[in-house]
């Protein structure tokens, strides 16, 4: 049975996290900043040292191959959110490197058909785009989008890319690399508490949830908080409050759906003014798109009614809609078999957060993901933690599945 070297996996994770390490115990490697570029250079260097074929594509994604192509690729990302943890993304890269090293050392059949890919700018916090590397690979990133993106400090993304020898006009050409990839596997921390609650060290992802984002603006009438009679008030905050409460009720009533009013503001608000204008966001996610449609209707209808009752006007706009991205059956089957070989009945669950795999799955690339239990469900925080044993098991399962898929691929070629 294929197993990995857990001490080396842990050491690789430490090496990755040297660039951008924070005194708090966390890390910070925003896309295309010095620490993130340093981590990617480390990755290329480390893979070259091991005799792997290393390349960087037009979008800045890093690829490493054991030999034959197309290959079963494993990977994740090295960029992080601000004040991040040491596992999100980094674990997937460390695991991919470790699987490649262990598989090559054991000369197992299929080992020469494995590869690694590290996607750029997964988190999207610096340029407001996100997953640019995997979107380019999926053929879903237009040059105009790259050209119009700017960093939070006002620097155009194009300038940042050019400074790192990436030609923004050529980024979409990364899509040609799809021919080198016959499946994609990713090990990632769960970022939730479902596995911990179930007492399971690892889980298999069935799909990545669909998502719908709304921006809502309510216009009432600003007036004196003391002198305006209750019946004359056009309070623009009430529909916002109603929407937040309805979102909570909808979540209680529906299984496998989350709804959040995450941004909320009273414009030109003050203690002594009846709120004249408010603005809020709504984020709804579920693997079931019908459930999302019903939730949208309930929450927005409740807000609209509250607006009417309070003499306000409500304007709503759907700003983003992403379809669900089911993982691929034959890849899930390989992961299931791998988990059984390792004596684990891994529960199957939906990913409530977006990952690079969703873009690849949408482009028809067979995909699968393994989640590792997160301590207290915490992520995007220096407190992020998964145990060495859980990470070892997750990486071993991913590696075993990758080898099974590689052998099938060789037979099919």
Whole-number minimum distance, CB 79 to Zn ion, in Å?
9
Nearest residue (CB) to Zn ion, 19 versus 110 = 19
Whole-number minimum distance, CB 75 to Zn ion, in Å?
11
Whole-number minimum distance, CB 261 to Zn ion, in Å?
24
Whole-number minimum distance, CB 332 to Zn ion, in Å?
20
Length of the chain: 413
Whole-number minimum distance, CB 88 to Zn ion, in Å?
4
Nearest residue (CB) to Zn ion, 26 versus 89 = 89
Nearest residue (CB) to Zn ion, 89 versus 357 = 89
Residues that bind Zn ion (CB under 5 A): 88-89
Nearest residue (CB) to Zn ion, 328 versus 374 = 374
Nearest residue (CB) to Zn ion, 58 versus 88 = 88
């Amino acid at each position: 049975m294929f197993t990995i070297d857990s001490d080396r996996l842990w050491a690789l994770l430490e090496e990755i996290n040297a660039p951008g390490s924070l005194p708090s115990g966390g890390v910070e490697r925003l896309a295309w900043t010095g620490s993130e570029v340093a981590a990617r250079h480390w990755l290329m260097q480390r893979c070259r040292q091991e005799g792997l074929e290393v390349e960087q594509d037009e979008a800045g994604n890093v690829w490493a191959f054991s030999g034959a192509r197309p290959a079963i690729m494993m990977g994740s990302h090295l960029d992080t959110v601000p004040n991040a943890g040491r596992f999100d993304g980094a674990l997937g890269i460390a695991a991919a490197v470790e699987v490649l090293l262990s598989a090559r050392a054991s000369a197992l059949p299929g080992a020469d058909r494995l590869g690694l890919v590290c996607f750029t700018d997964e988190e999207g916090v610096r340029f407001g785009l996100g997953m640019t590397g995997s979107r380019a690979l999926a053929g879903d990133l237009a040059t105009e989008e790259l050209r119009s993106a700017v960093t939070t400090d006002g620097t155009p993304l194009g300038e940042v890319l050019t400074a790192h020898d990436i030609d923004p006009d050529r980024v979409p050409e990364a899509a040609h690399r799809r021919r080198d990839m016959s499946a994609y596997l990713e090990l990632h921390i769960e970022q939730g508490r479902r596995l911990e609650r179930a007492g399971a060290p690892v889980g298999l992802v069935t799909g990545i949830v669909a998502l719908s984002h709304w921006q809502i603006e309510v216009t009432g009438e600003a007036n004196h908080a003391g002198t305006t009679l209750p019946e004359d008030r056009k309070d623009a905050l009430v529909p916002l409050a109603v929407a937040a409460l309805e979102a909570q009720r909808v979540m209680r009533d529906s299984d496998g759906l989350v709804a959040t009013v995450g941004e909320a503001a009273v414009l030109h608000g003050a203690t002594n003014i009846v709120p004249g204008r408010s603005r809020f966001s709504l984020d709804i996610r579920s693997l079931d798109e019908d459930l999302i449609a019903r939730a949208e209707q309930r929450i927005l209808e409740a807000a609209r009614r509250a607006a009417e009752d309070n003499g306000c006007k409500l304007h709503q706009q759907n700003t983003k809609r992403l379809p669900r991205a089911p993982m691929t059956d034959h890849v899930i089957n390989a992961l299931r078999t791998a988990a059984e070989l390792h004596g684990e009945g891994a529960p199957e669950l939906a990913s409530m957060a977006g990952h690079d795999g969703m873009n690849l799955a949408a482009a028809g690339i067979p995909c699968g993901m393994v989640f590792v239990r997160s301590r207290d469900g915490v992520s995007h925080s220096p407190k992020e933690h998964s145990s060495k044993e859980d990470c070892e098991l997750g990486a071993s399962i991913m590696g075993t599945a990758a080898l099974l898929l590689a052998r099938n691929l060789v037979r099919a070629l």
